[in-house]
Amino acid sequence: MTQFDTHTAQDITLGRHAHDAPQTGARTLFEERIRQLYESKIALTANAVNAAIISVIAYGEVPTIPLALWLATMWIVCLIRIGMIQAYRASPTRFENSRNWARLYTLGSGAAGLIWAAAVPLIFQSEAPVLQAIVAITVAGMTAGALATAATHPPAFFAFMLPANFFLMATLVSQLQKEYMGLALMVLMFAGFLTRFARNWNLAYIDSLETRMNSESLIGQLQITDTGNRMILEAAGEGIYGLDTKGRVTFVNPAAARIVGYTPKELIGLQIHDLIHHSHEDGTPYPLSECPMYAACTDGTPRQTKDEVLWRKDGSSFPVEYKSTPLMRGEHLVGAVITFSDITDRKRAEDSLRESEEQLRLLTDSLPVLIAAVDSDTNILFANQTCGDWYARPSASLAGQSVKSIMGPALDAVVRRAVSEGLAGITVTEELHIEFPDGTGRVVEFNFISNFNDANVLDIVYVLGVDISLRQQIERQKLRLLRETRLRELGAEISSAARAAEIGQMSSVLAHELNQPLTAISNYLSVCQKILDKGAADSPAQISNLFGKAVTQADRAGRIIQGVRELVRSGRVEFAPEPINEVISEACELALPSGGDSAGQNRISLKFDLSNDLPLIPVNRVQMQQVIVNLLRNAVSAIEGTTNPKIEISTNLRDEDHVKIKIEDNGPGFPDDYQSEWFSPFVTTKDQGMGIGLAICRSIIEAHGGDIDFGVGPLGGACLSINLPTTVQADQRSQQGHYSTVGV
Amino acid sequence: MAPNNKVYVIDDDDAVRESLRLLLESADIDVEDFPSAEFFLAAYQGSDVTTSCVLADVRMPGMTGLELQRHLAGKVPELPVVIVTGHGDLSMAVDAMKNGAADFIEKPYAPDEIVRRVSDAMSSPLPKPTPRSNAKRAAAQIDLLTPRERDVFDLLVVGNSNKEVARNLGISPRTVEVHRAHIMEKTNTKGLSQLVRLALAIGTEFKDD
C-alpha cells in the first residue's frame, strides 16, 4: 500500500508549499515572456526602414507634407520604443513591474499599428495600383512580423494587428471594385490565420519556455550554482533525479542511473514512471496518476514511501524507499526531486531483526521468570507470558496498563523506588511476598535494571521476578538440617569433652587419694622387710601389727575405688541404632580437626575404607565416639615423628551378626612387654597418661556386647580391631550402668 | 628436747606419717612426726641443724609444705627441708628448690629411695652460697649437652613434665625421654632434683610461673 508522508515538509530545502503558488504562480513565466518581448529591436528597425521605403516610393504620388509627417511620426514612435527597450533592460525592477512594461509595449505596438493604418488612406490618394499593392503587402508583412516578435504576449500582437488591418480592409472595401474586394478578403483570411497562429505559437512558446525555465532552475539550484552541491549529487550513494512538472527527467545522478540499470543519458527527458515505476511489486500496473513521485510535481506536497519497488532495466525489481520533494523556483512549482535508495539489505536486516525479536519473545515467554519493561511512569511497555500467568491476564493485554493496576501498589512503590534509585545508578533488588489472583502467595525476588536512552535519561526499567518460594523452602530445610547436624555434633563434642574432663579430674583426685594408702602400704611393708632382713624378727607381734596396718591401707584404697564406682554408676546409658560410619566420621572430626592437618607437624595421611552396606548398630553414640576418639588420639601420638604418618580406618561386615572396625597406624606398634597388660588400667607408655584410655575403651566395647583386640597391622604399626554385634545382646541391657566403671 | 640428729616428718595423713616414721626408724633415723606444719612450728625448739632435716608433704591443710619451707628458710636457713610432692606438683617442687629446699621427692617413691634421700639431706650440709669452682664445674657439665638437650634441660628444670617439654619443642615424649636420659648421663645426675640443683648452680634464670 502506498503511504504518503506529508509530515516532512520541514525537511525539504528545495521546495515550498504548493498553496503559495496560485496567486503569483504565473508571474515568473510572465516575467520571462515580457523579457522575451523586449529581447529584440529588429521589429522596430523593420518598421522604420519599411516606412522609409514606402515614403520614397510614394514620394510625388501623394501630397508631400502628409507623407513627411507620417514618416516622421513613425520614426519618432520607433525611437521612443527603442528607448523603452533600453529603459527596460536598465531597470532593476523590470521583473517586478513586468505588467506595466507589458502594457507599455502593447501601447507602443498599438501606436505602430495605428501609424501603419494611417499609411493606407494616405497612399491610396495615389491612383497607382502598384503603390496600393505595396502598401497592402507591407501592412500584411508587418502584421506577420508582429506575430513573430510579440508571440510571447498576444495583446501586443493584437494591438498592432487590429488597427492596421482594419483600416487596410476598410480602405480596400471602400474602393468598391472587385479586385480590391478580393484583396480585402485575402487580408482578412491572412489576419485570421495569423491570429490563429498567434494563439498556437504563444502556447508552444510558453510551454517550451516553461520547460527551459524548469531545467534552468534545477540546474541552477542543484548543479551550476554550487559545485559542492554538484559533487555531492554525483557522489551520493542514494539515487537522485529531478522531474519537471510533466514527470520527465531533468537530471539524474550516476547512482540513480546505476541502481536502476540505465545510463544517465538514457533517462534524461523521459517519462521515468513508465521506465522504472510502471508496476507494483505483484506486477499489477501502477498508473502515473497514482504515483506519489509524480504527485509531488503536480500538487507540490512532499511524500515519502517505504514499501514500493522500482524496476531495473533488466526487468528485475527491488524494494525502495524514496522521498519526493517538490521543487520551487521562486514560489513557482517547477517539478520535484526524487531521492531513493535500494533497501534490500535493510529489509533483510529488518526481517532477521523481527525474527530474532520473535525468538526473544519466545524465550522470554518460556522462562519461568517474570520479565516486564516499565517506563519511568510505571506503565507497562512489555510483559512476558509468566507475568501474564502470575497475574491471570493475557500477557499481550498488559502493555499500556499501569503497574499499580496489574501488580498492585506494593510493587508499584518498589518500581518507583527502582526508578529513582536507578537514576542514581543503583541496581535494586527486592524480595516481596506477593499474593496472586489465584490465591497463592509466593516470595518473589525482584531485580530492576535501569535502561538509559541516548540522552542519558532513564526511559525503561526492566523488571525481573524470580519465584524463590521453593528455593527458600529448600534453603530453610538445608539450614535446619545443618543446624541439627551441628547441634548433634556439638552435643557429642560437649559430652565427649565433658566426659574427658570428668575423667581427667577424677584421675587426678584418684591419683592423690590412692597415693596416700599406697605409699603407706609400701612403707609398712618395707619396714617389715627391713626387720626381717636384719634377723630381728624377735617380735612377730610387731610384724603382724605392721601387716595389719598395710591391710588397713589396702582396704582404704579399695574404699576409694568403691567410692568412684558409686559416683560413676549414677549415669544410665541408652543404646540406639546408629549408622556406625557416621559415628566414626564425626569422631574423626573431633579427634583430628581439619582432617588431621594440624594433628602434628607432619601431615597425617588419613584413609577411610568404610563399607557402604552396614546395618544400623545399637550403640551409645557418645561412648562409641569416645572409644574412636581415644584410639585415634593414641594413633596420632604413636605416629608422631614417623615419616609419612598414616592412619587407616575401615569398617566391614565381618559376618552377618558382627561389624568390624579397624584402626591402624604406621607408628612403632606396641612394646612387647606391654602386650599382656595392655588393656589393664594404669598401664601406659605415655609419661603423664593415666593408662586408663584403653581400659575404658575395652569396658565400653564389652558393654556393647563386642570385643576389642590389638595386633600388628599391615602398615607395620598398631592395629586395633573392634567387633560389634549388629543386634542388641541379651546381656547388654543387664549390663547397662555397670560397664563404665569396670576399668576406672 | 636437746638438739639431736632428727627427721621431722610432717604429713597430714596419719597412715603415711606413721608408716614413714616406722620406715625411717627402721633405718636407725631418729624421727619426730607432726600432723601439720603449725604443730611442728609450735613444738620445734631448735636442733643441731646440720644433722637434722625436715620432711614435709607439699599438700596439707593449713600451712603447706612450701609455705613451711619458706618460713624456715627465713628463720633457720641451715635446716634442710625435703619436700614430698604428689602427681602434678612438680613446678611447686622446683619453686621450693629455688627457695633453698634441700631436695624434693616425688610420690610414689620407693621406700629405700626416700631413706637414702633423707640420709643425704641430713649428712651433707646445705650448699651455702655456691662456690665459684662449683659453678664452673656445673657449667662445664652443661656445656657437654647438645643444643637440643640444652633446650630439654631448660624446660625440665623449671618444672615441665616430659609431655609438656615435648609439646613445647614439637617432638614426641619418647624423644624427650631419650634426651633426658642422655642429660642425666652427661651431667652425672640422678633425678630431677639434682638437675634442678645443677641449674641453680649455674644460675639458670627460673621462670616465676
For residue A257, count CB atoms less than 10 angstroms from its CB and return exposed for 0-12, middle for 13-18, buried for 19 or more: buried
Mean of pLDDT values over A240-248:
85
More confident position, A547 or A3: A547
Q: Which residue does chain B place closest to A520, by CA atoms?
A: B16
Express each pLDDT in A145-155 by its tens digit: 888 888 888 88
Identify the pLDDT of residue A541. Answer: 82
Angle between helical axes of A42-58 and A129-150 (0-180°, round to 10): 170
Identify the pLDDT of residue B10. Answer: 93
Residue A506 pLDDT grade (very low, low, confident, very high; cuts 50, 70, 90): low
Grid cell, residue A251, equals 537530471
Strands annotated E in chain B? 7-10, 31-34, 53-57, 81-85, 103-106
Q: Which of B83, B106, B123 is the last residue of a domain?
A: B123
Mean of pLDDT values over A425-451:
78
Q: Which residue does chain B place closest to A641, by CA atoms?
A: B172
**C-alpha to C-alpha distance for B53 and B55, rounded to whole angstroms:** 7
- What average pLDDT is seen over chain B? 81
Among A530, A544, A545, A634, most B C-beta atoms within 10 A, so best to mutate, is A530
Express each pLDDT in A446-472 by its tens digit: 888 888 887 777 788 888 888 888 888
Nearest to B173 among A549, A601, A687 (CB): A687
Nearest to B107 among A515, A525, A641 (CB): A515
Report CB contact under 8 Å: B108, A517: no
Cβ atoms of A183 and A129 within 8 Å: the answer is no
Among B17, B19, B105, B168, most A C-beta atoms within 10 A, so best to mutate, is B19
Q: Decide if B2 is inside a domain.
A: no
More confident position, A683 or B9: B9
Q: How many CA atoms within 13 Å lie on the side-chain side of A630?
A: 24
Residue B186, domain CATH: 1.10.10.10
Cβ atoms of B37 and B63 within 8 Å: the answer is yes
Name the helix (H) or strand (E) containing A321: strand A317-329
B91 touches chain A (CB under 8 A): no
Q: Which domain does B46 fall in, by range?
A: 7-123
Mean of pLDDT values over B166-191:
87
| DSSP 3-state of B91 | helix
The DSSP code for A687 is: S
List helix spans (H) across A91-153. Answer: 98-123, 129-150
The DSSP code for A511 is: H
Identify the pLDDT of residue A601. Answer: 47
Identify the pLDDT of residue A425. Answer: 65
Kindly report the nearest CA distance between residue B182 and chain A, in angstroms: 17
pLDDT beyond 80 at A229: no
Q: Which of A237, A236, A217, A240 is nearest to A228 (CA)?
A: A236
Q: Which of A653, A628, A636, A638 is nearest to A708 (CA)?
A: A628
Same domain, yes or no: B115 and B174: no
Report CB contact under 8 Å: B19, A549: yes
Longest CA pairwise span in chain A (Å): 222
Share of chain B above pLDDT 90, in %: 5
Cβ atoms of A683 and A691 within 8 Å: the answer is yes
Kindly report the nearest CA distance between residue A725 and chain B, in angstroms: 37
Ranking A55-69, A195-209, B192-206 by mean pLDDT, the lowest is B192-206
Kindly report the nearest CA distance between residue A517 and chain B, in angstroms: 7
More confident position, A506 or A610: A610
Grid cell, residue A557, equals 584404697
Query: Which CATH fold would you assign to the domain A576-741?
Result: Heat Shock Protein 90 (3.30.565)
Grid cell, residue A452, equals 538509559
Q: What residues contact residue B95 under an 8 Å CB cut-off, 6+ apart?
A: B66, B159
Identify the pLDDT of residue A360. Answer: 84
Identify the pLDDT of residue B102. Answer: 84
Q: What residues contact residue B74 under an 8 Å CB cut-off, 6+ apart?
A: none
**C-alpha to C-alpha distance for A34 and A209, rounded to whole angstroms:** 12
Among A506, A512, A521, A527, most B C-beta atoms within 10 A, so best to mutate, is A527
Q: Which residue does chain B place closest to A515, by CA atoms?
A: B108
Highest mean pLDDT among A317-326, A602-611, B1-10, B187-196: A317-326
Q: Which of B123, B141, B176 is the last residue of a domain?
A: B123
Same domain, yes or no: B114 and B141: no
Same domain, yes or no: B114 and B69: yes
* B 9-48 → A contacts, CB under 8 A: 13, 15-16, 18-20, 22-23, 25-27
CATH tag, A473-569: 1.10.287
Grid cell, residue A381, equals 511497555
| DSSP string across B26-77 | HTT--EEEESSHHHHHHH-----GGG-EEEEES--SSS-HHHHHHHHHHH-T
Identify the pLDDT of residue A68. Answer: 92
Same domain, yes or no: B91 and B145: no
Identify the pLDDT of residue A52. Answer: 92
Kindly report the nearest CA distance between residue A466 and chain B, in angstroms: 56
Mean of pLDDT values over B186-206:
76
Express each pLDDT in A255-282 by its tens digit: 888 889 988 888 888 888 888 998 998 8
Express each pLDDT in A548-573 by its tens digit: 888 888 888 887 777 666 555 545 56
In DSSP terms, A460 is beta-bridged to A375, A451
Strands annotated E in A343-467? 369-375, 380-383, 428-435, 441-452, 458-467
Kindly report the nearest CA distance between residue A520 and chain B, in angstroms: 5
- Our count of domains for chain B comes to 2
Q: How many CB atoms lie within 10 A of CB A429?
A: 11
Report CB contact under 8 Å: A508, B87: yes
Identify the pLDDT of residue A563. Answer: 64
B172 touches chain A (CB under 8 A): yes
**C-alpha to C-alpha distance for A304 and A310, rounded to whole angstroms:** 14
Kindly report the nearest CA distance between residue A718 and chain B, in angstroms: 17
List helix spans (H) across A675-720. Answer: 693-703
**C-alpha to C-alpha distance for A510 and A513, rounded to whole angstroms:** 5
Q: Which residue does chain B place closest to A522, by CA atoms?
A: B111
Q: Which residue does chain A place closest to B171, by CA atoms?
A: A641
Same domain, yes or no: B35 and B114: yes
Cβ-Cβ contacts under 8 Å, A686 against chain B: 163, 173
Cβ-Cβ contacts under 8 Å, A685 against chain B: 174
Kindly report the nearest CA distance between residue A421 and chain B, in angstroms: 59
pLDDT beyond 70 at A89: yes
Q: Which residue does chain A place closest to B23, by CA atoms?
A: A527
Identify the pLDDT of residue A596. Answer: 44
**C-alpha to C-alpha distance for A703 and A723, rounded to whole angstroms:** 12
Cβ-Cβ contacts under 8 Å, A642 against chain B: none
Identify the pLDDT of residue B9. Answer: 93
Same domain, yes or no: B149 and B195: yes
Cβ-Cβ contacts under 8 Å, B180 against chain A: none
Residue B89, domain CATH: 3.40.50.2300
Name all contacts of A643-648 with Cβ < 8 Å and 24+ positions apart: A643/A602, A644/A602, A644/A605, A645/A600, A645/A602, A645/A603, A645/A604, A645/A605, A646/A604, A646/A605, A646/A606, A646/A607, A646/A715, A647/A596, A647/A604, A647/A605, A647/A606, A647/A607, A648/A606, A648/A607, A648/A608, A648/A609, A648/A713, A648/A715
Report CB contact under 8 Å: B110, A522: yes
Q: Which of B93, B123, B153 is the last residue of a domain?
A: B123
Residue A739 pLDDT grade (very low, low, confident, very high; cuts 50, 70, 90): very low
Query: Which CATH fold would you assign to the domain A231-342?
Result: Beta-Lactamase (3.30.450)
Report CB contact under 8 Å: A518, B108: yes
Q: Which residue does chain A place closest to B88, by CA atoms?
A: A508
Same domain, yes or no: B19 and B107: yes
Share of chain A above pLDDT 90, in %: 7
Same domain, yes or no: B112 and B140: no
| DSSP 3-state of A250 | strand
* B 152-171 → A contacts, CB under 8 A: 161-163, 170-171
pLDDT beyond 80 at A728: no
Among B17, B18, B24, B26, most A C-beta atoms within 10 A, so best to mutate, is B26
Report CB contact under 8 Å: A523, B110: no
Helix, strand, coil percentages (3-state) for chain B, rounded to 5, are: 55, 10, 35
Identify the pLDDT of residue A743. Answer: 32
Domain ranges (residues) in chain A: 39-93+97-219, 231-342, 354-467, 473-569, 576-741
Express each pLDDT in B71-94 by its tens digit: 888 888 888 889 888 766 777 778
Mean of pLDDT values over A219-223:
53
Q: Decide if B24 is inside a domain.
A: yes
Report CB contact under 8 Å: A516, B16: yes
Q: What is the CA radius of gyration of chain A?
A: 64
| DSSP 3-state of A484 | helix
Cβ atoms of B93 and B119 within 8 Å: the answer is no
Cβ atoms of B166 and B124 within 8 Å: the answer is no
Identify the pLDDT of residue A498. Answer: 57
Identify the pLDDT of residue A497. Answer: 61
Strands annotated E in A620-725? 646-655, 658-665, 707-712, 718-725
Identify the pLDDT of residue B206. Answer: 47
Same domain, yes or no: B27 and B54: yes
Same domain, yes or no: B141 and B102: no
Q: Decide if B1 is inside a domain.
A: no
Residue B42 pLDDT grade (very low, low, confident, very high; cuts 50, 70, 90): confident
Taking CA atoms, A98 is separated from A90, A104, A148, A436, in Å, by 13, 10, 20, 83
Cβ-Cβ contacts under 8 Å, B92 against chain A: none
Chain A residues with a Cβ under 8 Å from any Cβ in chain B: 508, 511-512, 515-527, 530-531, 546, 549, 552-553, 556, 601, 637, 640-641, 685-688
Q: Decide if B207 is inside a domain.
A: no
Cβ-Cβ contacts under 8 Å, B59 against chain A: 512
Cβ-Cβ contacts under 8 Å, A515 against chain B: 86-87, 107-108
Q: Decide if B192 is inside a domain.
A: yes
Identify the pLDDT of residue A26. Answer: 40
B61 touches chain A (CB under 8 A): no
Express each pLDDT in A662-718 by its tens digit: 999 888 877 665 554 555 444 444 433 444 567 677 777 877 888 888 887 788 888
**C-alpha to C-alpha distance for A682 and B180, rounded to whole angstroms:** 23
Report CB contact under 8 Å: B163, A688: yes
Identify the pLDDT of residue B50. Answer: 62
Report CB contact under 8 Å: B163, A520: no
Same domain, yes or no: B14 and B101: yes
Same domain, yes or no: B172 and B87: no
Cβ-Cβ contacts under 8 Å, B109 against chain A: 519
Q: Are strands B31-34 and B53-57 parallel, antiparallel or unpaired?
A: unpaired
Q: Decide if B56 is inside a domain.
A: yes
Identify the pLDDT of residue A176. Answer: 85
Cβ atoms of A341 and A237 within 8 Å: the answer is yes
Mean of pLDDT values over A52-75:
90
B86 touches chain A (CB under 8 A): yes
User: Is A354-467 in the same CATH topology as A231-342?
Assistant: yes
Give φ, ψ of A468 to 5 degrees.
Answer: -105, 15
Grid cell, residue A457, equals 535519561
Q: How many CB atoms lie within 10 A of CB A526?
A: 22
More confident position, A744 or A150: A150
**C-alpha to C-alpha distance for A288 and A273, rounded to whole angstroms:** 7
Mean of pLDDT values over A186-198:
87
Q: Which residue does chain A place closest to B13, by CA atoms?
A: A516
Task: Tell which phi-psi region holds residue A104, choosing left (phi > 0), alpha (psi between -120 and 50) or beta.
Answer: alpha
Share of chain A above pLDDT 70, in %: 81
- What average pLDDT is seen over chain A? 78
B135 touches chain A (CB under 8 A): no
Domain A354-467 belongs to what architecture? 2-Layer Sandwich (3.30)
Report CB contact under 8 Å: B87, A516: no
Q: Decide if B52 is inside a domain.
A: yes
ipTM of this complex prediction, to 2 decimal places: 0.74
Cβ-Cβ contacts under 8 Å, B108 against chain A: 515, 518-519, 522
